[in-house]
Amino acid sequence: MLFKLSEYCRRMEKTRAAMAEKGLDILIVTDPANMNYLTGYDGWSFYVHQGLVLFQDRDQPIWFGRQQDSNGARITTWLDEDHILGYEDHYVQSRTVHPYDVVADLIQQKGFGSKKIGVEKDNYYFTARCLEHLKKGLPNAGFLDGELIVNWVRCVKSPSELNYMKMAGQILERVMDTAVRLIEPGVREGDVAAEVYRAMISGTPEFTGDYSAIIPIMPSGKRTTTAHLSWTDRRYKKNEIILLELSGCKHRYHAPLSRTVITGRPDPELDGISKTVIQGLNRVVDFIRPGIQAREIEEEWRRSIAGSRVVKESRIGYAFGLNYPPDWGEHTISLRPGDLTVLEPGMTIHVMPGIWTDTLGFECSEAVYVTETGCETFSRVPRQLFIK
C-alpha cells in the first residue's frame, strides 16, 4: 500500500459522511482514480467494467472487476479477501449478460435491494447500459446521482499525497527541459515526443515516473490555434510556435505544466500576448491563498489583463491530482465566474490561462498547492516564452 491504513480509513469516513448528506445507503464508485483513492487499487483494467460498492454501514467497500484482475486487487489494496469479487470472463463485452448483473446480485444478496443507491452518472467509465442492468436487477431500489462525491473528498491532499506530487514535479522539470532542449528546425515532432515519454517514465536517479493521464500535447505551427492537438511526423520549421502541455507523474499523482517555444524571433502579436499572459499568471499565483473563492482568482486574472488585447473566455484553471486517462483534472474546482469554492490548504490547482487565436496559440501555466499562507509551485520551470 502507498499510504497507511489509517489514511485510507479517514478517506472512507469522509466519503460515508458525504454519502449520508445525500441520503445514500450505497455508492457505486467506477472512476479508477476514486477507486485508487479509497482502496489503493491500481491497474490498467479500466477498459472493462470495475468498481467499488460502498455500504454506508460497513467499513470496507467491495471491489468488483474481471476475475483475471482480482489478484491485482489483492496486491494493491487493503481489502480483505471476502471483499474482492471477480466476475467470470463470459460477462466481458457480451451482448447478452453484463458485469452489472453481478453487481445487482451482490447488492440484492446483502439485503440492500430496496435501498438508495448512488452512481457516478457523468463518469467516463459508467455507461447507460450499466444503469439499465442495475435497474433491471434491482427493481425496488432508488437510483440517485452520486457523481463527484469522492472527487470532492479528494480535493484536499494529505502531506503524503503532496509528497508524491512534489516527486512528479521533479520529473516534470526533466520532461519540460527535454522538450525545450530538443526542439529545433528540422527535427521531427514525433522524435521529441518519444524523448518526452522517455523522460516521463525514467524519472530521476532516485525514482522512476509513471505514464501521464494525458498524452504530451505538443502541436506546432497552425496546429497551435487549438488546445488539444499533439505531435505528427512533420518536422519543425524556422519561426514557428510549439505549445507544450506536459506532466510528471508518480503513483498516478500528477504535476502538469504548459510552456511555449518559438524557433525564431516572436512577432509583435506573440510578444504582446506572451508578456500579458505571463504578467497575469505571476499576479494570480501571488494572489492564491486559503480563504478566497475560486471565482476571485479568475477576477484577479481579468484585472491583470485589463486594457490589453488578450481575451480569455474559458476557465483559467482547475483542480488536479490523482488520475487515470483521459484526464488529470479532478472535475471539481474551476477558476471561473460563479465558482464559490473556498480554497483550503492542501488543495492543488493548475492555473492554465492558455490563449488560442485564429493565427497562433500561447500557453504558460503553473501547478500549485495551497499552503497555510499562500501557495507553492510543484516545479521550477521559468515562466517565459522559450526562444530557440
Is residue 211 domain-shared with residue 191, that is, in the same domain?
yes
Cβ atoms of 383 and 353 closer than 8 Å: no
Give the closest residue to 350 by CA, choosing from 256, 277, 243, 285: 256
Domain that holds residue 319: 159-387
Q: What is the largest CA-CA distance in the chain?
A: 69
| Matching residue, cell 472493462 | 48
What is the pLDDT, as a whole number, of residue 295? 98
Domain boundary among 102, 120, 154: 154
What is the pLDDT, as a whole number, of residue 1? 85
Is residue 165 domain-shared with residue 149, that is, in the same domain?
no
Give the Cα separation of 144 and 358 in Å (integer): 43
Taking 50 as the pLDDT cut, the residues of the chain under it are none
Domain boundary among 108, 127, 154: 154
Look up the CATH number of the domain holding residue 54: 3.40.350.10
Look up the CATH number of the domain holding residue 198: 3.90.230.10
Is residue 188 domain-shared with residue 319, that is, in the same domain?
yes
Go through the chain and tell me how many residues it has: 388
Is residue 167 domain-shared with residue 132, that is, in the same domain?
no
Is residue 145 domain-shared with residue 165, that is, in the same domain?
no
Torsion, CA 264, CA 270, CA 276, CA 278, rounded to 10: -40
Domain boundary among 154, 173, 195: 154
Is residue 209 domain-shared with residue 95, that is, in the same domain?
no
What is the pLDDT, as a whole number, of residue 33? 98
Alpha-carbon separation of residue 280 from 293, 297, 299, 368 (angstroms): 18, 11, 11, 15
Is residue 166 domain-shared with residue 144, that is, in the same domain?
no
Return the amino acid letter for 7: E
Is residue 169 domain-shared with residue 121, that is, in the same domain?
no
What DSSP line would sit under 258-297, residue for residue?
EEEEESSPPPHHHHHHHHHHHHHHHHHHHH--TTSBHHHH
